[in-house]
Amino acid sequence: MTSTDQGRRAVRPTRQRRAVAAALAGFDDFRSAQEIHDLISQQGDSVGLATVYRTLSALADAGEVDMLRNEDGEAIWRSCSDAHHHHLVCRTCGATVEVEGPAVERWTNAIASEHGFADISHTLEIFGTCPACR
Amino acid sequence: MTSTDQGRRAVRPTRQRRAVAAALAGFDDFRSAQEIHDLISQQGDSVGLATVYRTLSALADAGEVDMLRNEDGEAIWRSCSDAHHHHLVCRTCGATVEVEGPAVERWTNAIASEHGFADISHTLEIFGTCPACR
DNA sequence: GAGTGTTTGACAATGGTTCTCAAAAGAGGT
DNA sequence: ACCTCTTTTGAGAACCATTGTCAAACACTC
Ligand SMILES: [Zn+2]
Ligand SMILES: [Zn+2]
Ligand SMILES: [Zn+2]
Ligand SMILES: [Zn+2]
């Protein structure tokens, strides 16, 4: 084992994981796992649906993609910037705008500690109809 | 038909709907439909699960209960106050505090119209560990 | 190339939610 | 009480996104 502990727990850059990453790079709106799976097929690649789910979950854990739930409770995914942010999402076409709200972050933390809650997380998403879908 | 159009589209106060309402009144934290169904059974009543779902959905449409999704995407329900508000929810025991954030409401609307989005809705929930569950 | 732990994918299984539709129950009039 | 019309119910099937299974394929190291 080298100093950086390579060799174990390695994440291998497989064809499948590259295909998922490529698909994610190909759009900038939120999509379901099934849609991403379909996109990969259309690009000529073939990746099992279970692998798509596994890869998306891993990327989300690594902070490379954001996962949120649409109004029907389905998980939707998108490659996002590193910084903490929220989303303005078109209910119809999925078009997404990343938004930041420092004031909101402060507010949620204040409210939580005010009530003695620890280990805070929060969800804040805005849904609407974008100009193109009016 | 009388002037107020009674007689059609009436919502009937059945035993089942009363049982769901009673169960909702019996706790002040968010619960899943299944849990509410179980609570009703424990109270001696018997209501079909489908009816529990139907009743909860109707109450949610009427604005009498709030429905949100836990971190697993499951719908959870709670009888809530009328005014628009958000929730601080204990991830462990479901204990809930209703919170209001006028500034947040203004902020989401401003962001949305700034980007030309219409027909806005938003979700904002805070999850954490309550003092009792530390 | 052999050895070893990782990754994959076809398919089954899970589990929350909705659908189906015949039977039961409320409302109202007679 | 009886009849009629509409609403509601519930047992079970159907749905469908997501996760589990596990043997075969693969990537990496030596
Ligand atoms: Zn994002
Ligand atoms: Zn749109
Ligand atoms: Zn509420
Ligand atoms: Zn708690």
Domain boundaries, chain A: 1-81, 83-134
pTM: 0.87
Position B2 scores a pLDDT of 34
Q: In the predicted model, is pLDDT for residue A6 greater than 50?
A: no
Question: Which parts of chain B register pLDDT below 50?
Answer: 1-8
Q: What does CATH list as the number for B1-81?
A: 1.10.10.10
For residue A70, report the phi and psi dihedrals to the nearest 5 degrees: -75, 180
Band (pLDDT 50/70/90 cuts) for residue A80 is very high
* Helix or strand holding residue B37 (H, E): helix B33-42
Read off the pLDDT of each residue in A9-14 and give the average, rounded to a whole number.
73
How far is the centre of ligand 2, averaged over its atoms, from the C-alpha of A57 (Å)? 26
Name the CATH code of domain B83-134 (choices 3.30.1490.190, 3.30.300.350, 3.40.50.1370, 3.30.300.30). Answer: 3.30.1490.190
CA–C1' gap, A47 and C9, in angstroms: 8
Could you say which nucleotides of strand D lie within 7 A of any protein CB atom? Answer: 6-12, 17-21, 26-30
Band (pLDDT 50/70/90 cuts) for residue A7 is very low
How far is the centre of ligand 3, averaged over its atoms, from the C-alpha of B88 (Å)? 9
**Inter-chain touch A111–B99, beta carbons under 8 Å:** yes
Residue in the block written with tokens 């590193």: A82
What is the Cα–Cα distance from B128 to A118, expressed in whole angstroms?
5
SS (H, E, C) chain A: CCCCCCCCCCCCCCHHHHHHHHHHHCCCCCEEHHHHHHHHHHCCCCCCHHHHHHHHHHHHHCCCEEEEECCCCCEEEEECCCCCCEEEEECCCCCEEEECCHHHHHHHHHHHHHCCCEEEEEEEEEEEECHHHC
CA–C1' gap, A44 and C19, in angstroms: 37
Interface membership of B107 toward A (CB under 8 Å): yes
**Inter-chain touch A126–B127, beta carbons under 8 Å:** no
Position B94 scores a pLDDT of 85
**Inter-chain touch B91–A119, beta carbons under 8 Å:** yes
Interface membership of A97 toward B (CB under 8 Å): yes
Read off the pLDDT of each residue in A26-48 and give the average, rounded to a whole number.
94
Position A93 scores a pLDDT of 86
